[in-house]
Amino acid sequence: MNYLAIELSTASAKAMIYSAERGVLAVKSESFPPEVSDMASQDAEGAWAALTRCVLSVRGQSSEEIAAVGICTTWHSILFLDEKRKPLDRIYTWANSAASPTVAKYRADAELCRSYYQRTGCMVNATYPYWQYAHFRDTRPDLIEKTAYLSSQQEFLFERLTGEIAASLCTASGSGFLDIGKLAWDEEGARFLGIRPESFAPLKEATYAAALGRKAAEAWKLAPGIPVVLGGADGALNQIGDGALGDGVMTFSVGTSGALRLASPAVVLPEEPATWCYYLTEGRRMVGGSTAGAGNCLTWFADRMSLSGKLDFKALDRAAETVDGAKAPLFLPFPYGERCPGWRDDRRAAFAEVAGSAGLAELYYAVLEGVLFNLYHCYEILTDLMPAPDRILVSGGIVRSEQWLRMAADIFGKELEVSNVEHVSLLGAVGVARRALEKDYELDRRPVGRGRTIEPDAGDARRYAERFERYKKLYEAD
């Protein structure tokens, strides 16, 4: 059977045709132009048009019959709809930091934070659609007054494709509107913001399917009536695509942002907010830590140093290899605020211990290291909550930098396995669609073979451990 997997991310649209017998047949991605996405928000119709072009491109490359469509989107987005379910505004994503000042006053209430965190697995933070709604309620009452329904990237796609209204439990768990223990819309949270229960879509498992509507089928050159599988969020589908649903397997992704993830059969949360807990599917949860600064810190650094278009990252990596790491500056990687572990939207980036002799290479080295220290800080907390992983699968832009990979292995003091799975979130969407259609298909199947491994150096690991303690003192003093 052949499957069509589709994805809307923060910055692009993607489509892939996958054969259960032959693997990937065709893939196409398209970056959004600025008018469609400014990272913080998206034009729904523009995103749909880009996705349609991707689908038509892969259909042109492979015209074989499609058995089902699987959906992947970002984990955190919100779309306001009127009484006719038409968009009132753009889709707002996790990157929309405008809510930070509003959220800060709620985060000052420690008891509210703890109660909300333990119910939802999410923190009082502008990342989450719940708190973006709170911001719009306080600053744009005209928008809230016109809003009859709440939606998201994923719900918008599913409704456009099938005409049916449904929300994936997986994606909803990253909205801040869901009770992570009860797997139901959080009634206490909805009352707090004055949201009517009928504003929310019915909740369904990721494997829930509805028939492709005729209009969408014609637009995408597909057979009407084939199943469209609701699917889940990119982080969850990464875990599925990498075959990391079992015990002892952590995924470690460093792209625009960063994340560490472990599957769990139960809700796992520390007493004080630090990590997060979302829902995967079929009773599984996912425990993890996400950072707002990763690859975007490198781009930020290059832009601020006026290096864009003048010096590529490979050249910067080569320069960083010459740095005496023991004498390098330290860097707090928060130009875009902090998610885990401190959840401070207002935290900002900073260099420290900068010697007069420090140059471009030393500063760049500090940025690479600071991003990984932030992630390792999350790792320490996660491994206090759960057993340390046996395997760590690393993916994202970091795999294109040997310098950064070696640094990561030394900081974590663990062997890192570079994921050998391409298009991993799309493959996760395929996996969920296959589970919906092929009842004997198991979601925890692991890809064939292991990726190459990066071994830590004991001497460098000791040096990084000493520097990490200095980083934490700097972090705690900020």
Residue 28: both structure tokens together: 């196409």
Q: Decide if 464 contacts 303 (C-beta within 8 A).
A: no
CA angle, 262 as apex, 158 and 104 as ends, to 5°? Answer: 75
The per-residue pLDDT for 406 is 96
Look at phi and psi of residue 225 and say left if phi exceeds 0, alpha if psi is from -120 to 50, else beta: left
CATH architecture of 2-235: 2-Layer Sandwich (3.30)
* Helix runs in 386-423, H state only: 402-412
The whole-angstrom separation of Cα 99 and Cα 138 is 10
The whole-angstrom separation of Cα 327 and Cα 111 is 42
Backbone dihedral angles phi then psi of residue 319, each to the nearest 5 degrees: -65, -40
Q: What are the percentages of helix, strand and coil residues in the chain, rounded to 5? A: 40, 20, 40
Percent of the chain with pLDDT over 70: 98
Q: How far is CA 330 from CA 9, 334, 363, 366, in A?
A: 32, 13, 8, 5
447: pLDDT confidence band, cut at 50, 70 and 90?
low
Check whether 61 has a pLDDT greater than 80: yes
Check whether 449 has a pLDDT greater than 70: no
- 200-216 pLDDT, tens per residue? 999 999 999 999 999 99
- 251-262 pLDDT, tens per residue? 999 988 899 999
Residue 278: both structure tokens together: 């979302």
The per-residue pLDDT for 191 is 97
- Position 195, amino acid: I
Look at phi and psi of residue 449 and say left if phi exceeds 0, alpha if psi is from -120 to 50, else beta: left
- Return residue ranges of the chain for CATH 3.30.420.40: 2-235, 243-420+448-478
The per-residue pLDDT for 420 is 80
The whole-angstrom separation of Cα 92 and Cα 132 is 8
The whole-angstrom separation of Cα 59 and Cα 62 is 5
Pick from 80-84, 125-129, 369-373, 421-425: least confident? 421-425
The per-residue pLDDT for 299 is 87
The per-residue pLDDT for 460 is 94
Residue 75: both structure tokens together: 């984990």
467: CB partners within 8 A, 6+ apart: 325, 326, 330, 369, 373
> Of 475, 235, 470, whose CA–CA distance to 334 is shortest?
475
Check whether 77 has a pLDDT greater than 90: yes
Query: Against a cut of 0.85, is the pTM above it?
Result: yes
Q: Is 68 exposed, middle or buried (0-12, 13-18, 19+ CB in 10 A)?
A: buried
Percent of the chain with pLDDT over 90: 81
- 268-321 pLDDT, tens per residue? 999 989 999 999 999 999 999 999 889 889 988 988 887 756 667 888 889 899
The per-residue pLDDT for 138 is 93
Tokens 């032959």 identify what position? 22
- 396-414 pLDDT, tens per residue? 889 989 999 999 999 999 9
The per-residue pLDDT for 310 is 64
CATH T-level assignment (fold) for domain 243-420+448-478? Nucleotidyltransferase; domain 5 (3.30.420)
The whole-angstrom separation of Cα 189 and Cα 206 is 23
The whole-angstrom separation of Cα 181 and Cα 474 is 36
